[in-house]
Structure 1
Amino acid sequence: MSTPTEDLSAAGVSIWLDDLSRTRIQSGNLQQLIDTRNVVGVTTNPTIFANAITNPDDTSYDAQVAELAASGTSAVDAVFAATTQDVRDALDLFRPVWESSNHVDGRVSIEVAPDLAHDTDGTVAQAKDLWKRIDRENLLVKIPATKAGLPAIAQAIGAGISVNVTLIFSLERYAEVIDAYLTGLETAKAAGIDLSTIHSVASFFVSRVDTETDKRLAAIGTDEALALKSKAGLANARLAYELFEKSFAGDRAKALLDAGATLQRPLWASTGVKDPALPDTLYVTELVAPGVVNTMPEKTLEATFDHGEVTGDTVTGTYDESRGVFEALKSVGIDFDDVTQVLEDEGVAKFIDSWHGLLEQVTKGLDEAR
């Protein structure tokens, strides 16, 4: 009998792990997840690296920190020295997956510094630096889908850099992300870059949408409002998939695909269930569709492997029902545009806080090592 993660892969979902650490690589744990849990990629963010590097029980960074301290390296440079090494090692581990998947999977993401979320030029410069420094074809550089991030995405794609667009919450912003991707491809094509070498995913956040919306529904408190709890996240993601289908079936996208470009795949992020009353595999089994990525915390991955019930495509065919959810949310007083703006602002702020917390810890570590 097949496992649920095998069933998920067979249904067209690429399973990526939302975590990375040097210990996970060196212990063989990441390879084990590739071999036994159908993991075909990894995503990272500043919070993940902060947890890994500042973990007092993890000594795998100590030697490198001591070496960096002796050379007088700054905290920022030390963080990127450590994280780029981890990402490069993970990319090498995933290279067989990258080759066997026709370069679709076997991907590892690294994010530009969160401080650059509202700085287009700074984001582009760092994306180019990370792409050159890591020097692996299966890398994805993570750029947030802020207003300043959109032109940065187009410029990075136009320069031949593969991009993971992160922190997408609204359909309106997702449409702008797709436009930025297509604009970048047109620029790359004009520059003579082989479009087949450029890959991208668009990371659409799920559980955070329910967390914020459900908080507002609880405050309203009516039976009609409470009946809508835990429905917004799935409905939003499902309509994002409809937009993906329509956008890449259009003439503009088809011309680029005919020239060798690849689809910018939807990626379901924030798939760990926050509400203990909900099934712990909700944002996995209810978002199955061909050609998507689901990036999972290890807890969600293990829950899926243990008892996930994969019944095939649970997205296409749900669009009218999903639109009905938003009509109902509006009728009870939910301003969903405000929900998604709050989530974007909070998402950027949380990553900046994690980034500064990481820099403080690394500064302390460097000082102690000196």
Structure 2
Amino acid sequence: MADSLAELTARGVSIWLDDLSRERLVSGSLADLVARDHVVGVTTNPTIFAKAISGGDAYNAQMSDLAARGVEAAEALRALTTFDVRAACDVLRPVYDASDGVDGRVSIEVDPQLAHNTEATIAEARALWWLVDRPNLFIKIPAARQGLPAIAACLADGISVNVTLIFSLSRYEAVMNAFLDGMEAALQAGRDVSALASVASFFVSRLDTEVDARLDKIGTAEAAGLRGQAALANARLAYQRYEQVLALPRWTALEAAGARPQRPLWASTSTKDPAYSDTRYVVDLVAPGVVNTMPEATLRAVADHGQVPPDSVREHYQHAQQVLQRLQRLGIDYDDVVQRLEDDGVAAFEASWDRLREQLATTLRATDRGAGHGR
């Protein structure tokens, strides 16, 4: 039987898990995925942590300690999440070492409420880098306009960065430019740029969800024929822009100094529409030097029935451009779509963080009262 995950790896796609919890760490589930299923990295976000922390008893002991110390909810949230990420970094450390720092990475996101505050984002990134204290960490910074200077500043400080919530091609170009700025500044400061790394998380399936809804409102046969094409077209054109950056003199100078490229990372790769294949945002985005971060259900689907081609990106640039042009002619405003998705993405993570912070405050008070009754 073909090992589709091994084939994906052989094509140059790094498989990362888009999930983390204390239960995965304690049970050995993450270690098993690394050992048996070609998983070489982990991404997290506020929604993932909200689900993990509210979903079981694995955090009770640490919560009890935090309550006994009178820790506020915001600090408790960082203590819980950095504990998990530090432990995951340790699980992935052999991969990091074996790949010479290319993979074996674990991401943790800055507080999403800071997405539109450059200085606060930089300060938070520095704090998280210090708290986790592992070389295979990525600090996730949203690609909002205010995040772009933070990306460059963090790289210049020697902090490896995962740029998240990228939806538009123009924003992706700005992100890659911020990466080049940061790496050049790091090099000028005398840093070892070969130890720095970055990925740019380009969100995929959410674009189809938004565009398909607009196409359905148009209701024509031409609109129906374009359903499910926007996301793949957008991602493929993003990879084309990545290749263009690799040809720039700015990049070749950095590469000569030992720098590594900012790899494209396909995020939001679970299929939202049941009419579509549950592997489409993996097998239709195969290209060398990319990361695909997927929830376990998608990973299992690829392992079970994914048909992995040699390359499903680079031969489709012309068609991808035609798709976006046809959408524009139908009245689908690309700029409006991607801005709405960015705004909604930041808002959704903020809401998850807020709910979790409120829940932790309640739990800490209850835990402290319970401990007091036992004294």
Classify the TM-score, shorter chain.
over 0.9
Displacement of 1:2 after TM fit? 3.8
Q: For 1:253-292, what per-residue CA distance to the aligned partner results, in whole angstroms no more than 9, with x for missing partners?
A: 1111111111000000000000000000000000000000
Corresponding residue for 1:269? 267
Pick from 205, 220, 234 the counterpart of residue 207 of structure 1: 205
* 2:46 pairs with 1:46: yes
* 2:310 pairs with 1:330: no
Q: For 1:16-42, what per-residue CA distance to the aligned partner results, in whole angstroms no more than 9, with x for missing partners?
A: 000000110110111111122110000
Map 1:164-243 to 2 at 5 A. Answer: 164-243=162-241
Q: Distance in 1 between matches of 2:37 and 2:214?
A: 36
Corresponding residue for 2:35? 35
Q: Distance in 1 between matches of 2:153 and 2:101?
A: 22
Displacement of 1:364 after TM fit? 1.0
Q: Distance in 1 between matches of 2:153 and 2:132?
A: 19
Corresponding residue for 1:362? 360
SS in 2 for 1:255: helix
State the AA in 1 paired with 2:268.
Answer: S
* 2:102 pairs with 1:104: yes
Pick from 296, 302, 305 the counterpart of residue 303 of structure 2: 305
Corresponding residue for 2:372? none
Q: Distance in 2 between matches of 1:2 and 1:299?
A: 19
SS in 1 for 2:15: strand
Q: Distance in 2 between matches of 1:191 and 1:134?
A: 24
Corresponding residue for 1:81? 79
State the AA in 1 paired with 2:123.
Answer: A
Corresponding residue for 1:114? 112
Aligned length: 368
Which shifted more, 179-188 or 1-10? 1-10
* 2:138 pairs with 1:140: yes
Q: Distance in 2 between matches of 1:12 and 1:196?
A: 20
State the AA in 2 paired with 1:306.
Answer: D
Q: Distance in 1 between matches of 2:10 and 2:252?
A: 26
Corresponding residue for 2:373? none
Q: Distance in 1 between matches of 2:137 and 2:201?
A: 15
SS in 2 for 1:153: helix
SS in 2 for 1:94: helix
Displacement of 1:311 after TM fit? 1.6
Q: For 1:139-178, what per-residue CA distance to the aligned partner results, in whole angstroms no more than 9, with x for missing partners?
A: 0000000010000101001101000000000000000000
TM-score between the two structures when normalised by the length of structure 2: 0.97
Q: Distance in 2 between matches of 1:317 and 1:247?
A: 18
Corresponding residue for 2:344? 346
The runs of 5 or more residues in structure 2 that have no matched partner are 369-375
* 2:17 pairs with 1:17: yes
Displacement of 1:132 after TM fit? 1.1
Q: For 1:67-110, what per-residue CA distance to the aligned partner results, in whole angstroms no more than 9, with x for missing partners?
A: 00110101010011011010000000101100111110000000
Displacement of 1:190 after TM fit? 1.0
State the AA in 1 paired with 2:5.
Answer: T
Corresponding residue for 2:243? 245
SS in 2 for 1:67: helix
Q: Distance in 2 between matches of 1:215 and 1:75?
A: 38
Q: Distance in 2 between matches of 1:248 and 1:122?
A: 31
Stretches of 4+ moved more than 2 A in 1? none
State the AA in 2 paired with 1:273.
Answer: T
Q: Alpha carbon RMSD of aligned pairs, Å?
A: 0.6
State the AA in 2 paired with 1:54.
Answer: S
The runs of 5 or more residues in structure 1 that have no matched partner are none
Q: Distance in 2 between matches of 1:304 and 1:364?
A: 40
Q: Identity across aligned pairs (percent)?
A: 57
Q: Distance in 1 between matches of 2:25 and 2:194?
A: 29
Q: Distance in 2 between matches of 1:363 and 1:272?
A: 32
State the AA in 2 paired with 1:154.
Answer: A
Displacement of 1:181 after TM fit? 0.4
